[in-house]
A and B are shown apart, each in its own frame.
Chain A
Amino acid sequence: MSDFGVAFGSALNLIINLDSNLSEIVLLSLQVSLAAVALATAIGLPLGAALALYRFPGRASLVVLINALMGLPPIVVGLTVYLILSRAGPLGSFGLLFTPTAMIIAQTILVTPIIAALTRQVIADLWTEYREQLKSLGTGPGRAVPALLWDARFILVTAVLAGFGRASAEVGAVMIVGGNIDHVTRVMTTAIALESSKGNLALALGLGFILITLSLVVNATAYILRDAAERRHA
């Protein structure tokens, strides 16, 4: 228990003293995870909605694949992106390896299936309710996608938050493609992994507390905003 007390102390100490290293790490963590979630949302929402509304050969297999990819191991994604972005890889010429951009790419790949799979389920359920009315109004699947996404916006916040949770908590992918370079690609999770490996458990746990607090703040903000909007629109 004393370890936890020391960890709390470390966390408070870091926050109170506004440690510049910590600020930098927190900022980069948020920057990478939020950018990845934004990209994954831009891809996953329409992809999930399209999978719910369109019927085409191989659709069932694609749905199973996307659902399975929700459990994609970050380390595998990291390795794959590493190979693609490394000098010898197909996108090696862009020089993106060990940059925050590479980390965003890796996390986007991790998060997109989560958002797409959850969106597909939400929109499929909504489509069951709306299908006849929208068809009667002359709305085909293509035009129904934005209408349904907009109507499901409050529920889809949860899908996006699930994606954010995945992005902010993973360490395997960002470690491999980012390299955990101090002041360049070090984020919360890689810093925690580093401090743990150095045996600095209290500091690692302290960073963990800060990460959890950040996640709580993001989720609470989303909840409050969603609740207020939902109240307004029933």
Chain B
Amino acid sequence: MPRKQNPQPTEQAPFVLEPGIESRLLGNSKTSPSILPLELRGLSWKADGLPLIKDISCTFEAERRTIIIGPNGAGKSLLLRLCHGLIEPYAGKVVWHGANGRNPSRYQAMVFQRPVMLRRSAEANVAYALKMRGVQRHERRHLVEEALARTGLAHLAGQSARVLSFGEQQKLALARAWALRPQVLFLDEPTASLDPAATHAIEEIINAMHSAGTRIVMVTHDLGQARRLADEVMFMYRGRLREKAPAETFFAGPKNDLAQAFLRGELLWWRRRSGECRVDL
């Protein structure tokens, strides 16, 4: 299947920000040194003593779109949360090699499967995120307007975020992330409950953010989406990273037999129970 190239961020006229706002306040890699690469060293996580992430080690280099795939319960969302610092690892380390003493969380953003919107207008939701990053009130307006324009939500700026459709809320979540100019954006199945049109719109925004310099790390169950977006694929199964490969290589034929089965649409739990699994779990 041909992979779509990064589309242009938007057809709208480029937004002119006040000089210096981005570099002074935000984390875009074009204006401030990148916090990447991100290295996971022997990362493990347990819930009630049950290991759910098991000894994951890998590195995320800059300027790629990494798509994490795997069956339910593989630990994909947990891995994102560990990377983003929402939960602490039981063992191992999350190392941002480029941080150099800076707080890496200020240079990241995350979009969740279910967008959480504050009970206020769409623009106020974006403005709140900027406020939390220390952006002054008079400087927020430009960034809010730009983010809403880029995501096609300018006409809904004054609308209460809670009355927006699910797809619009997810776009707003991306607008909120965009306004922050993150160097790294984590996305946890952002299109899980969306129709194809909304999914397409979200993918365009993700690509636009990537084109603007944001490193994308995204979890999805949609293999078609993974093929469309991925530069690199990580396949997880039962808390372990089974394969990490360039997208072309992975989709041409993954090395791991579980990944092969997953791509064929086979139910992995059934393989394991029937004793056909050939790798040590």
Contacts and interface: CB of A to CB of B under 8 A. Distances in A.
Nearest to B188: A132
Contacts of A233: 119-120, 160, 162-163
A138 B132 contact: yes
A16 interface: no
A137 B132 CA distance: 6
A102 to B, nearest CB: 39
Interface of B: 81, 84, 86, 105-106, 108-110, 112, 116, 118-120, 128-129, 132-133, 160, 162-163, 176
A234 B109 CA distance: 26
A25 to B, nearest CB: 39
Nearest to A136: B110
Contacts of A132: 81, 86, 110, 112, 116
23 contacts: A130-B118, A132-B86, A132-B110, A132-B112, A132-B116, A133-B112, A133-B116, A136-B108, A137-B109, A137-B176, A138-B106, A139-B132, A147-B118, A147-B128, A150-B118, A150-B120, A151-B120, A153-B119, A233-B119, A233-B120, A233-B160, A234-B119, A234-B162
Given A132-B81, A151-B118, A233-B120, A138 B160 contact: no
Nearest 9 CB-CB pairings of A with B: A234-B162, A133-B116, A234-B163, A151-B119, A136-B110, A137-B132, A233-B160, A138-B132, A137-B129
Contacts of A135: 86
B162 A136 contact: no
Interface in A120-138: 129-130, 132-133, 135-138
B116 A150 contact: no
Contacts of B120: 150-151, 233
A232 interface: yes
B128 A137 contact: yes
Contacts of B133: 137-138
Given A130-B116, A151-B118, A234 B160 contact: yes
A143 B132 contact: yes
Contacts of B162: 233-234
Contacts of B176: 137
Interface in A145-183: 147, 150-151, 153
B254 to A, nearest CB: 31
A81 B4 CA distance: 74
B22 to A, nearest CB: 17
Contacts of B108: 136
Contacts of A153: 119
Given A129-B116, A133-B112, A150-B120, 10 more contacts: A130-B118, A133-B116, A136-B109, A137-B109, A138-B105, A150-B118, A150-B119, A151-B119, A153-B119, A234-B162
Interface centre among A137, A153, A234 (most CB of B within 10 A): A137
B86 to A, nearest CB: 5
Contacts of A133: 112, 116
B18 to A, nearest CB: 22
Contacts of B163: 233-234
Nearest to A135: B86
Nearest to B115: A133
Contacts of A147: 118, 128
A80 B114 CA distance: 50
A29 to B, nearest CB: 34
B75 to A, nearest CB: 16
Nearest to B117: A133
Nearest to B180: A137
